[in-house]
Amino acid sequence: METPSENNELALAEVNSETQPNKRRKKKSIVWEHFTIETVGAGCRRACCKQCKQSFAYSTGSKVAGTSHLKRHIAKGTCTLILRNQEKNQLSPYSAPSKMGGAGSASEPPKRRYRTSSLASVPFDQDRCRHEIARMIIMHDYPLHMVEHPGFVAFVQNLQPRFDMVSFNTVQGDCVATYLREKQSLLKFIEGIPGRICLTLDLWTSRQSVGYVFLTGHFIDMDWKLHRRILNVVMEPFTDSETAFSHAVAVCLSDWSLENKLFSITLNQPVNEIGIEYLRAQLSIKNPLLLNGQFLVGNCIARTLSSMALDVLGAGRETIKKIRDSVKYVKTSESHEEKFLELKQQLQVPSTKSLFLDDQNQWNTTYEMLVAASELKEVFSCLDTSDPDYKEAPSMDDWKQVETLCTYLKLFFDAANLLTSTTTIPTTNTFYHETWKIQTELARAATCEDPFISNLAKPMQEKVDKYWKDCGLVLAIAVAMDPRFKMKLVEFSFPKIYGDEAAPTCIRVVDEGLHELFLEYVALPLPLTPTYVDEGNAGSMKGEDGGLLSSNGLSDFDVYILETSSQQMKSELDQYLEESVLPRVHEFDLLGWWKLNKLKYPTLSKMARDILSIPVSSVAVESIYDTVGKEMDEYRNSLRPETVEALICAKDWLQYGSSPPEISNALVKMEF
């Protein structure tokens, strides 16, 4: 039994525990750095903010009025004084106090900190936000004026009230600064490549009759990886001028210091002889033209394939319209599509393809529409029995013509599809096989007894023959750089391409061109970039003292060996060609093979590096199947040419990674 005095002592202890909580148990929550407890009545206490003096309900151990709402007050920025202090020193409310600030700070032990989200401790950075807005606009093709749109302004102000909204001129300067920063990084990368660079020129038009030439560089790096980067977008006011392309190329070469490193140019449209001579004359001043400039100008295979595909689509225009109308009838009505699918199931048609309408500006979509409809032709033929409203079913002759059209469209589709990869860039040798296959099939079709097929094939045969005439030497030398084929494939395929009588002469032209090019590489080594010097030194023979053997008093002996053995010694090229071809495997890494054999073939590997980087297409991946030329949109055409170039180039470069923004702000100061 407890005595009355003991009861009084217990009661007094309880009162003390309520009114003086810190004497019995030290509170560990960080909120008590910002709050004090005030007793406002018997058994009723409130927490008072030290900064703004606002009071909140508080009860020890309560889930309703504990410390959670106190933490929100200081963590979420609702306390105006804490928010103001945070803006001044860029510190979180939970940051540890300075060891030098406040009386007694050196003697007080560090207090336990409340664990909160890492985002709460990230300081606000206006410059970083501007950098990210510029990146967003570049990467997603947003208009620069979006930063002034009321909806965007309201969104940002609600998301982060402390962000000072930027104007059109400011974000334009930020985008150009991003472009210049990425350009510096790419310049350093290109300076270190050991080989030459190939260019493609893609001409875009605009409604204002002003042209834009997209210049893309293709090159193989020291690790034998093939790259492509948009280097310039040059505005040309007079696209029909014979000097338009040569001017754009001159701008690119000067801008990137490529005067002595250019290897080839691939165009997306025909250029007359005067225009080509302007190119040759201008580029030959500082750039050695190998094989008398035969690699200098080439045609775009994507444009050739699209042109031939249009020939096929034009020949079957009426039939294709019937198919398109039938597909449209099914796809534009849910009830029609339900009846079509029910009938397909009843007929047990095994096709897994789905119907869709084509985009007439992308010829591949028309081909795929025809393929899908052809596999479902049985359903179309019977559809009128279950759907009386369907009255325009294609005839059997129509379906037969669709099959013929798809046969030739497939040839072009398979070849063009090799150009659409976003992960790997095809090397030049790949298109020898595709061009040969197309040429052979069209030659056979031109002699067909069916007048529809022969008349269809003849204009396409003329186009592929012209492409072969312009680019056949490049493709043949490129395939000779493939150790699975070498000159053997040329010797095998040329009789089928040129006929038995003309084939030996054509083979000799390729062989002579290959050897002449090799001798030019021996006589005209590549520019001595740091990478080139490293590769050359890697294959040098050194003595024990680190010096070359020729420095040990044997230089005269070396001359003697060269003089007496020059007749018998075989060149690297002859040695390579005489060795057996490698077995053909599907996933053969051609560039990887040359990387492994660059010491065995030091000069030939440099030639292979340049040959295999020659691009056969000058258009972007997304434009491979276009049936019309590209046109610059009105918004971009309203911008300064320098801004258009910055936006387009920077978007291309950013997909390969970006430079840290910290180095950008001091790099350029834009004024508009």
Query: What was the pLDDT predicted at 334?
Result: 92
Q: Tens digit of pLDDT for each residue in 361-392?
A: 999 999 999 999 999 999 999 998 888 888 88
> What mean pLDDT comes out for the span 311-323?
95
Locate tokens 């470069």: which residue? 653
Measured in whole angstroms, how far is the alpha carbon of residue 112 from the centre of its chain? 49
> What mean pLDDT comes out for the span 410-414?
95
Nearest in space to 174 (alpha carbons), one of 124, 125, 131: 131
> What mean pLDDT comes out for the span 254-265?
88
Q: Tens digit of pLDDT for each residue in 419-455?
A: 887 677 888 998 999 999 999 999 999 999 999 999 9
Dihedral, 641, 642, 647, 651 alpha carbons, nearest 10: 120
The H-or-E segment that residue 412 falls in is: helix 396-417
Name the pLDDT band for 105 (thresholds 50, 70, 90).
Answer: very low
| CA–CA dist 275, 297 (Å, integer) | 11
Name the pLDDT band for 72 (thresholds 50, 70, 90).
Answer: confident
Query: What was the pLDDT predicted at 559?
Result: 62
| CA–CA dist 490, 20 (Å, integer) | 98
Query: What was the pLDDT predicted at 291?
Result: 66
pLDDT at 78 over 80: no
Residue type, 361: N
pLDDT at 567 over 60: no
Higher pLDDT, 284 or 211: 211
> What mean pLDDT comes out for the span 346-351?
90
> What mean pLDDT comes out for the span 309-333?
94
Nearest in space to 609 (alpha carbons), one of 314, 132, 193, 89: 193
pLDDT at 646 over 70: yes
Residue type, 425: I
> What mean pLDDT comes out for the span 644-671?
71
Q: What's the maximum distance between 2 C-alpha atoms anywhere in the chain?
A: 130
Query: What was the pLDDT predicted at 83?
Result: 58
Query: What was the pLDDT predicted at 84?
Result: 59
| CA–CA dist 229, 425 (Å, integer) | 12
Q: Tens digit of pLDDT for each residue in 127-186?
A: 999 999 999 999 999 999 999 999 999 999 998 899 999 999 999 999 999 999 999 999
- Residue 298's SS3 state is strand
Query: What was the pLDDT predicted at 669?
Result: 43
Name the pLDDT band for 585 (thresholds 50, 70, 90).
Answer: confident
pLDDT at 660 over 80: no
pLDDT at 94 over 80: no
Q: Angle 55-59-65 (CA atoms, 0-180°, nearest 5)?
A: 70
Q: Tens digit of pLDDT for each residue in 614-625?
A: 999 998 888 999
| CA–CA dist 509, 612 (Å, integer) | 20
Query: What was the pLDDT predicted at 23?
Result: 47
> What mean pLDDT comes out for the span 498-510?
91
| CA–CA dist 95, 627 (Å, integer) | 61
Q: What is the mean pLDDT of the chain?
A: 82
On whether the pTM is more than 0.85, the answer is: no
Q: Angle 282-284-285 (CA atoms, 0-180°, nearest 5)?
A: 75
Q: 295 exposed, middle or buried (CB, 10 Å; 0-12, 13-18, 19+)?
A: buried
Tokens read off for 566 = 């020059």
Query: What was the pLDDT predicted at 560?
Result: 66
**Pairing state of beta strands 35-41 and 55-58?**
unpaired
> What mean pLDDT comes out for the span 544-560?
55
126-142 in b/e form (b: 16+ CB < 10 A) is: eeebbbebbbebbeeeb
